[in-house]
Copies of this chain bind each other. A is one copy, B any other.
Amino acid sequence: MRQDLPATAYALLGLLTLGEEPVTGYELKQRADSTLRFYWVSPAMSQIYSELARLTERGLVAATSEQDGGREVTSYAITAAGREALHTWMADTPAGFPVLKHSVCLRLLMGHAADPEGTVRMLEEYVEECAAARADLQQVRDGLRGNDGPGQPFFHPSLVADWGLDYFEDEARHARRALDRLRED
């Protein structure tokens, strides 16, 4: 049975396996923003809801609605079929090469068509943004401590977080190097 869902659907399934209790779409968005967004486009709220609807339809997640005062709140949990689908996807579908839309490199490539000061400013800002992203991720990483050993729940997230921390540092280094060469002449 081919599932053929977009990667984002499996990303959401994966996020649902990170906790025990069912979560609302809103909470899932927050979970995505705090973990996923460093390596993957964090989906818009509207997409989370429509994706959850599709996953529910296919029986990969189970929705439970409850009355919370005057409003109806729906929480979602991954089902056994969902876990199986996720597992199958991970085993059978090649990961593929990461897709990058590096706006900074794109502009640097066409730097001859811009004001030199503009290019320098852009790179300086990028260095700062990398530092900020790194600080955000460091917060997340710190929250994993104590449960990040082999076999523990946050083992894999900690691997990815450390990857990301290095990545942001490297990016800042690359930008600084380009800045040095721009200032040379």
Residues of A within 8 A of B (CB): 7, 11, 14, 17, 35-36, 38-41, 83, 86-87, 90-91, 94-115, 118, 122, 125-126, 129, 133, 150-151, 153, 155-157, 159-160, 162-164, 166-167, 170, 173-174, 177-178, 181-182, 184-185
Contacts and interface: CB of A to CB of B under 8 A. Distances in A.
Copies of this chain, complex-wide, total 2
A91 B118 contact: yes
Residue among A95, A118, A177 with the most chain B CB within 10 A? A95
Residue among A38, A94, A114, A129 with the most chain B CB within 10 A? A114
A104 B163 CA distance: 11
Given A115-B91, A178-B163, A99 B41 contact: yes
A109 B182 contact: no
A34 to B, nearest CB: 12
A107 B17 CA distance: 13
